[in-house]
A and B are shown apart, each in its own frame.
Chain A
Amino acid sequence: MIKHIARKEFTDVVRDGRFRWCAALVGALLLVSLGHGWVQARQAQGELAAAQATAREHWESQGEKNPHSAAHYGIYAFKPRLALSFVDAGVDPYTGTSVWLEAHRQNDFLMRPAQDATAAQRIGALTAAHVLQHLVPLLIILLTFGALAGEREQGTLRQLLATGVGRSDLALGKALGIAGALALLLVPAAVVGAAALVVGSPGPAASPLARAAVLAGVYLVYFAAFVGLSLAVSAQAGSARTALVALLAVWVVNGLVAPRAAVDLSRWIHPTPSAVEFARTLEREMATGVEGIERPDQAATAARLMAQHGVERVEDLPLNDVGVYLQESEEFGNRIFDRNYGALWDTFERQGLVHEALAVAAPLLAVRTLSMGLAGTDVEQHRHFATAAEAYRRDLMRQMNGDLTENSRSGDFSYTAGPDLWAQVPPLRYDAPTLGWVLNNRLLSLLVLGLWLAAAVLAAAAGARRAEVA
Chain B
Amino acid sequence: MLLRTVLRNERRLLAADPALRIALVVFAALFVYALANGMVWDRFQARTVEAARSGNAERVRGLAQELTDIANGAQPSSPFRDPRAPIVLGGARGAHTAVLEPGPLAALAVGQSDLLPYYYDVSIYTNESSFQQNGEVENPLNLMVGRFDLAFVTVYLLPLLVLALSFNVLSEEREQGTLALTLSQPVSARGVVGAKLAFRALLVVGLAAGVSLLGILATGGFTEAGRVLLWCAAVSLYALFWFALAAWVNSLRRSSAWNATVLVGAWLVLVVVLPAAINIAAGLLHPLPSRVEMITAQREASNDAVNRRSELLARYLEDHPEMASGVVPDEPGMAALTWAATDAVNGRLEEVTAVHDARRAEQLALIRRYRFLTPALLAQGVLVDAAGTGDARFAHFQSQVRDFAERWRQFFVPAILADERMTAAVLPGVPSFRFVDEQPADVARRAAVPLLVLGGLVVLVSVGAGVALGRVRGAA
Write the residues of chain A forming the contact surface with B, with a CB cutoff of 8 angstroms.
25, 29, 32-33, 36, 40, 44, 47-48, 51, 54-55, 58, 62, 76, 78, 90-91, 93-98, 108-126, 130, 134-135, 138, 241, 244-245, 248, 252, 256-257, 259-264, 266-268, 272-278, 280, 344, 347-348, 351-352, 355, 378-379, 382
Say yes or no: B51 contacts A274, CB within 8 Å: yes
Chain B binding surface SS class? helix
B137 interface neighbour in A121, A261, A278, Cβ under 8 Å: A278
Bound-state CA distance A47–B296 (Å) is: 11
Q: A residues within 8 A CB of B9?
A: none
Say yes or no: B133 contacts A110, CB within 8 Å: yes
Count of chain B residues with Cβ under 8 Å from any Cβ of A?
Answer: 79
Query: How far in angstroms is the closest Cβ of chain B from A72?
Result: 11
Query: How far in angstroms is the closest Cβ of chain A from B300?
Result: 8
Say yes or no: B276 contacts A274, CB within 8 Å: no
Q: Given contacts A126-B277, A268-B40, is CB(A263)–CB(B112) below 8 Å? A: no
Q: Given contacts A118-B391, A124-B276, A256-B156, is CB(A90)–CB(B137) below 8 Å? A: no
Query: How far in angstroms is the closest Cβ of chain B from A80?
Result: 12
Say yes or no: A120 contacts B141, CB within 8 Å: no
Q: A residues within 8 A CB of B138?
A: 272
Q: Given contacts A116-B360, A119-B111, A126-B280, is CB(A93)–CB(B144) below 8 Å? A: yes
Write the residues of chain B forming the contact surface with A, with a CB cutoff of 8 angstroms.
30, 33, 37, 40, 44, 47-48, 51-52, 55, 97, 111-112, 115-116, 119, 132-148, 152, 155-157, 160, 257, 260-261, 264, 268, 272-280, 282-284, 287-288, 290-296, 299-300, 303, 360, 364, 367-368, 370-371, 377, 380-381, 384, 390-391
B132, B140, B276, B377 — most chain A CB neighbours (10 Å):
B140
**Which residue of B is nearest A256, CB measured?**
B156
Q: A residues within 8 A CB of B278?
A: 120, 124
Q: Given contacts A98-B295, A241-B260, is CB(A276)–CB(B368) below 8 Å? A: no
- Identify 20 residue pairs between A and B in the complex whose beta-carbon atoms are under 8 Å apart, listed by A's number: A36-B283, A44-B290, A91-B143, A94-B140, A94-B143, A119-B391, A120-B371, A124-B275, A125-B276, A130-B276, A244-B260, A245-B260, A263-B146, A276-B52, A276-B55, A277-B51, A351-B141, A352-B139, A379-B139, A379-B140
Q: Given contacts A111-B291, A275-B136, is CB(A119)–CB(B384) below 8 Å? A: yes
Say yes or no: A110 contacts B132, CB within 8 Å: yes
Bound-state CA distance A273–B48 (Å) is: 10
Q: B residues within 8 A CB of A266?
A: 139, 142
Q: Given contacts A120-B367, A248-B264, is CB(A344)–CB(B137) below 8 Å? A: yes
Q: A residues within 8 A CB of B134?
A: 96, 108-110, 112, 275
Q: Given contacts A119-B380, A275-B134, is CB(A124)–CB(B141) below 8 Å? A: no
**Which residue of B is nearest A272, CB measured?**
B137
A260 interface neighbour in B147, B280, B296, B381, Cβ under 8 Å: B147
**Which residue of A is nearest B274, CB measured?**
A124
